[in-house]
């Protein structure tokens, strides 16, 4: 059980940061800028690469479904970037890009919600209290 608790605790800080960044990116409605002579809303908030490379502990101590859900996050983030880029290229509609930002909101908030679920599961595994800060 000690290994499971250690592993659970080690994985929480990167997930907490990811949750925050995804919520920020999802709530970004763009900033008006002049692009090619016309005003256009441009994304200003980005999600950093999600890495667990420096996280210690044995992955094997966590249940396989939990391992998978955590380890798939970098792929999900890359897929969101690819999907949004293709959508932007196919549906370019300045100045506001309303639908683009709507999709961006939904996709990043989906990852933020997944991170939140994983944080709760990890806290329950090691019997940690929920944070007293706003999630």
pLDDT digits (tens, 9 = 90+) for 53-112: 777 777 777 889 998 999 999 999 999 999 999 999 898 777 778 899 999 999 999 999
Q: How many residues does the chain have?
A: 135
Report the share of the chain in percent with pLDDT over 90: 50
Global pTM reads 0.87
Domain range list for the chain: 2-41+60-125
Q: How far is CA 90 from the centre of its chain?
A: 24
| Of 47 and 6, the one with more pLDDT | 47
What's the sign of the alpha-carbon dihedral 68, 70, 71, 77? positive
Of the pLDDT bands very low, low, confident and very high (cuts 50, 70, 90), residue 2 is: low
Longest distance between any two alpha carbons in the chain, whole Å: 61
Q: How far is CA 116 from the centre of its chain?
A: 10
Average pLDDT of the chain is 87
CA atoms within 13 A on the CB side of 7: 16
pLDDT at 1: 52
pLDDT at 126 over 70: yes
Query: How far, in Å, CA of 17 to CA of 30, rounded?
Result: 21
Backbone torsions φ then ψ of 53, nearest 5 degrees: -60, -35
């Amino acid at each position: 059980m000690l290994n499971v608790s250690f592993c659970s605790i080690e994985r929480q800080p990167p997930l907490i940061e990811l949750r925050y960044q995804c919520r920020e990116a999802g709530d970004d409605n763009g900033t008006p800028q002049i692009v090619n002579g016309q005003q256009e809303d441009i994304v200003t908030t980005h999600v950093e690469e999600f890495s667990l490379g420096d996280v210690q502990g044995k992955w094997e101590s966590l249940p396989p479904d939990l391992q998978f859900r955590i380890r798939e996050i970098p792929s999900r983030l890359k897929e969101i970037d690819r999907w949004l880029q293709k959508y932007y290229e196919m549906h370019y509609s300045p100045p506001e890009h309303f639908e683009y930002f709507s999709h961006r909101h939904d996709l990043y908030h989906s990852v933020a919600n997944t991170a939140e679920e994983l944080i709760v599961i990890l806290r329950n595994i090691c019997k940690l209290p929920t944070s007293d800060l706003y999630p």
